[in-house]
Each structure stands twice: as C-alpha cells, then as structure tokens.
Structure 1
Amino acid sequence: MYDFGVRQALSGHRGAYHPQQANQCPGCGKSHWMIGRVTAECAFCGTALPLMGGFSSGNGMMRPRTIPALAPLAA
C-alpha cells in the first residue's frame, strides 16, 4: 500500500496554482499568471506551477481507447 500523504509531507512544500484563489508566485511574489491546460506560468519571471484540479479538461485531453478502422487507400 502506498501512502501519498506521508510521501508528500516528507518531500517538502510543493507549490501549485489553485483556481479561484489569490496565487502569488513563489519566485517573484507577483500574481499575474498565464494559464494553460496543465500548468500556470508567472507572467513576470516564468515560474511554472501545476494546476490543481484541471488535468482532465480541454480539447485533446480525452482519447478513445480503441483504434478506429482505417479506410483502405485508393491507389
């Protein structure tokens, strides 16, 4: 059994961007962000933080498990 809580507690502080909260950059202390699908990047110093709760949204994030049948090529 793997305990994620203990592992994170022993590895130190890990910053993350939390939507709908005031987020200050750990690098420069400012609060202007460029938000992507997986990370948020500080507009001033470029520090990137992972998004909390935003990993399964956006175009191209969900892919089908089956491979569609390919049409025969016209030669």
Structure 2
Amino acid sequence: MYDFGIRQAHTGYRIAYRPQETNHCPGCGRSHWMIGRLTAECAFCGTALPLIAGGLSGNGVARTHTAPAHSPLAA
C-alpha cells in the first residue's frame, strides 16, 4: 500500500483528484468529473487523473483468511 502522506514530502506535489477539494482539470481548466474506482476523468476533455485515495476503501478491500490453507473439502 502506498502512503501518500509520507512520500509526498520526498516526491513533491503530484497531480491527482482530491475528493474533498475543488479539482480543476489540468487539460481544460473545468471542474466536472466522472469518478471511477481508481481514476477521475474530466467530463469535457477526457483527461484522467488518479484518485488520491483510490482503492483504499470499499467492500472486499481487506480480506482475512479464517480457514487453514489446506482445509479438507466437505463432500
């Protein structure tokens, strides 16, 4: 998992869609977005940006294994 908070100090500011902010498209300057799971796409020019929190929430993100790796099959 990539921690944007820690790495940002070393890598600088990266263009990304930030959900709690007003995001202007770097291509056309407008601010209407179609939001997906990992990217946001500008509705006017189609420029795609990664989500700053993409893939870190939702159903099935954290999976735990409760059964042993070689459990017998029930017949």
TM-score range with shorter-chain normalisation? 0.5 to 0.7
TM-score normalized with structure 2 length: 0.62
Q: Which residue of 2 aligns with 1:20?
A: 20
> Please, which moves more after superposition, 29-38 or 48-57?
48-57
Query: 2:3 matched to which residue of 1?
Result: none
Query: Could you tell me how far 1:38 is from its partner in structure 2?
Result: 1.1
How many pairs were matched up?
Answer: 67
CA shift, 1:56, in A, is: 1.7
The sequence identity of aligned pairs, in percent, is 59
Q: Is the 8 A contact 1:42 1:48 kept in 2?
A: yes
Q: Give the drift of 1:63.
A: 4.2
2:54 paired with 1:51: no
Alignment of 1:26-45 (within 5 A): 26-45=26-45
Whole-angstrom CA distance in 2 between matches of 1:38 and 1:46? 15
Judged with a 3 Å threshold, the aligned counterparts in structure 2 of structure 1 residues 48 and 60 are, in CA distance, closer, same or farther, namely farther
Unpaired segments ≥5 residues, structure 2: 1-5
Unaligned runs of 5+ in 1: none
Q: 1:60 to 1:43 in 2, by over 3 A?
A: farther
In structure 2, how many angstroms separate the alpha carbons of the residues matched to 1:20 and 1:40?
A: 13
